[in-house]
Amino acid sequence: MSDKLTCEHIYSILSKRFEGDRCRSLSELPPPHLFKDMQKASTRIAKAIKDKEKITIVGDYDVDGVVSTAILSEFFSDIGYEVEIIIPNRFIDGYGLSPSVVERIDSDLVITVDNGISAVESALVLKKRGVDLIITDHHNIPQTLPQAYAIINPKQEECPFPYEGICGAQVAWYLVASLKSELSLKRYDLTKFLDILSIAIMADMMELKGINRTMVKRGFHFLNHSKRAFLEAIKRYFNKKRFKSDDISFLIAPLLNSAGRLEDASVAFDFIKSRSLDEAMAKLEHLIALNNQRKEIERDITAQAIKKADSDQKIIVVWSEDWHEGVVGIVAARLCRRFGVPAIVMTVNGDKAKGSARSVGDVDILSLIATQKEKLLGFGGHKSAAGLMLEADRLEEFKSALELEASKIDDEKFIDNSHILGEIEPKAINSELISILEEFEPYGVENPQPKFTLSRVKVENGRVIGMSANHLKMHLVCNDVKLKSIYFNFDKTVKEGDEVDIVCSVTQNEFRGEKSLVLTVERMTISGDRS
């Protein structure tokens, strides 16, 4: 009997991923009052509305921050209360509630979304001016908390909310839920935000289990039936009948992020808030232009970074004065894929170096960076991605020390096979498999897209495609089953008749009404090691 995976095996394996989930429907979402300071914040906001105080919302320039701002501002608009919106500019203001942002505030109450938990100095300035500050955030808690009127963050001590790993937009949504109760808005529909909320959860790479999975899974229903002009514009421009999880990761999120990376995140905010399809289409074209510009800059920097990289090391650390700060994280991810090791890419501005890190496999990049914390001005992030800053004259010292630490890591940690379910029976690559895979969407952190291995697959033909000629389209045959495949950014060349072993995912493409199964190749080994 074959031990290769069948559709029945695959369904059983994927089902086990969610056996421990305590939240499987919207009705099981924990209530807002479980957040520490939620009631205190809601009461204060209600008082500000009653007394007609001036309220300022301070957001962030990534997708999560922009969506958080959109949710809270839309709520105030719905109840007819005007508020001031400030989304910091990455290049002028820096991150969050920075001193330059505080200088522009002339309000009685400030509410941060997706930021603020580290704004100790700015909070003091506001307090001295008699301005109440309500912080809503989800980032890690620093040793010293800001002196704020209220702090809503699931990660803080004595917060009984049962899920720490939620994004900033979810915290903002819960604040709206609490305000709905505080202001007795019984008919206010909170589900109206689930479309953009699902975008924020996925774009901010939250774990897709429990509350996050439930909100995103339900959110996709609202996403595909949304009346928001910006979503309709994306559908029409890119000829999408319905959105899938990959569309958030590889289309919507990059478009929205491009504004904050290259220009100003208010462009993305205004796009989300578009009131007509014509307005949305015009703003979308601007975002597409920004995103194309981002791609060009990214390609150029990636090429430079590859030349600087030391492929003999277990970590890549590169920098330059000419590199655009807004794309170094993406470049780091490109280097990870090319070299199979963690990468840190930094831009030097004067006497400071600032950059982003990405990791591979099971290597904890944040812990690795933390081994050199005495050399850094600041750092933060999580296991697979981080940001850091240090004095430029310590770069060589930092690089050498980090390379030494990385050299101690076992080789097997650099390859993550945890998402590979096993070798699949070729005949199981069919419409039933697609139905099973769609049932367990959305895929992302802690619910990775299933990958499979196929051994001794014969290459019938292959050709290079793409504007940069860096994708390989192949027709394969395995046990008399013919399969179409695509290998993005391929690093192996093949010829007709070659036998290969591959790691791949299975997707269904739709083109002009016709559906076809396609293998997306992640890794490929050629028999005889001809490459």
Instruction: Tell whether the model's pLDDT for residue 531 goes beyond 90.
Output: no
Q: For the domain that residue 167 is a member of, what is the CATH number?
A: 3.90.1640.30
Greater confidence (14 vs 385) lies with: 14
Q: For the domain that residue 361 is a member of, what is the CATH number?
A: 3.10.310.30
Instruction: Tell whether the model's pLDDT for residue 51 goes beyond 60.
Output: yes
Residue 25 lies in a domain: no
Q: Quick one: 74 and 152 in the same domain?
A: yes
- Condensed to tens digits (0 to 9), the pLDDT of residues 310-329 reads 999 999 999 999 899 889 99
Residue 218 lies in a domain: no
Residue 20 lies in a domain: no
Identify the band that residue 513 occupies on the pLDDT scale cut at 50, 70 and 90: low
332: tokens are: 């780091």
Q: Quick one: 427 and 370 in the same domain?
A: no
- Please tell me the predicted confidence (pLDDT) of residue 444: 85
**Average pLDDT in the 18-38 region?**
94
* Rounded-to-integer distance, Cα 108 and Cα 526, Å: 66
**Average pLDDT in the 56-83 region?**
97
Q: Quick one: 336 and 431 in the same domain?
A: no
Q: Quick one: 377 and 496 in the same domain?
A: no
Q: Quick one: 430 and 395 in the same domain?
A: no
67 close to 75: Cβ distance less than 8 angstroms: no
**Average pLDDT in the 47-54 region?**
98
- Condensed to tens digits (0 to 9), the pLDDT of residues 277-301 reads 999 999 999 999 999 999 999 999 9
Q: Quick one: 336 and 477 in the same domain?
A: no
Domain extent for 55: 30-202
Q: Quick one: 353 and 459 in the same domain?
A: no
Q: Quick one: 80 and 150 in the same domain?
A: yes
Identify the band that residue 384 occupies on the pLDDT scale cut at 50, 70 and 90: confident
Identify the band that residue 381 occupies on the pLDDT scale cut at 50, 70 and 90: confident
Residue 2 lies in a domain: no
- Condensed to tens digits (0 to 9), the pLDDT of residues 462-487 reads 777 766 557 889 999 998 999 999 98
Residue 269 lies in a domain: no
**Which ranges in 309-415 belong to alpha helices (H)?**
328-339, 365-370, 395-407
- Please tell me the predicted confidence (pLDDT) of residue 478: 92
Q: Quick one: 423 and 401 in the same domain?
A: no
Least confident of 180-189, 198-207, 413-422: 413-422
100: left (phi over 0), alpha (psi -120 to 50) or beta: alpha
- Condensed to tens digits (0 to 9), the pLDDT of residues 387-438 reads 899 999 999 999 999 999 999 999 989 987 778 999 999 999 999 999 999 9
The Cβ of residue 491 has, within 10 Å, a number of other Cβ atoms equal to 13
Nearest alpha-carbon partner for 290 in 317, 266, 261: 261
- Please tell me the predicted confidence (pLDDT) of residue 5: 94
Residue 24 lies in a domain: no
In sequence order, the 6+-apart residues with CB closer than 8 A to the CB of 217 are 441, 442
**Average pLDDT in the 217-241 region?**
95
- Please tell me the predicted confidence (pLDDT) of residue 467: 60
pTM (2 d.p.): 0.87
Residue 138 lies in a domain: yes
Identify the band that residue 115 occupies on the pLDDT scale cut at 50, 70 and 90: very high
Q: Which of 202, 221, 254 is the C-terminal boundary of a domain? A: 202
Q: Which of 373, 408, 443 is the C-terminal boundary of a domain? A: 408
Q: Quick one: 319 and 179 in the same domain?
A: no
DSSP letter string over 266-335?
Answer: HHHHHHHT--SHHHHHHHHHHHHHHHHHHHHHHHHHHHHHHHH--TTSSSEEEEESSS-GGGHHHHHHHH
Q: Quick one: 381 and 507 in the same domain?
A: no
Number of domains the chain is built from: 3
Q: Is 510 helix (H, G, I), strand (E, B) or coil?
A: strand
Q: Which amino acid is at 109?
A: L
Paired residues of 457 in beta bridges: 500
Instruction: Tell whether the model's pLDDT for residue 530 goes beyond 50.
Output: no
Nearest alpha-carbon partner for 370 in 405, 336, 397: 405
Residue 491 lies in a domain: yes
* Rounded-to-integer distance, Cα 255 and Cα 249, Å: 10
Q: Which of 202, 227, 261 is the C-terminal boundary of a domain? A: 202
Q: Which amino acid is at 298?
A: E
Q: Quick one: 396 and 517 in the same domain?
A: no
Q: Maximum CA pair distance of the chain? A: 77
Greater confidence (246 vs 458) lies with: 458
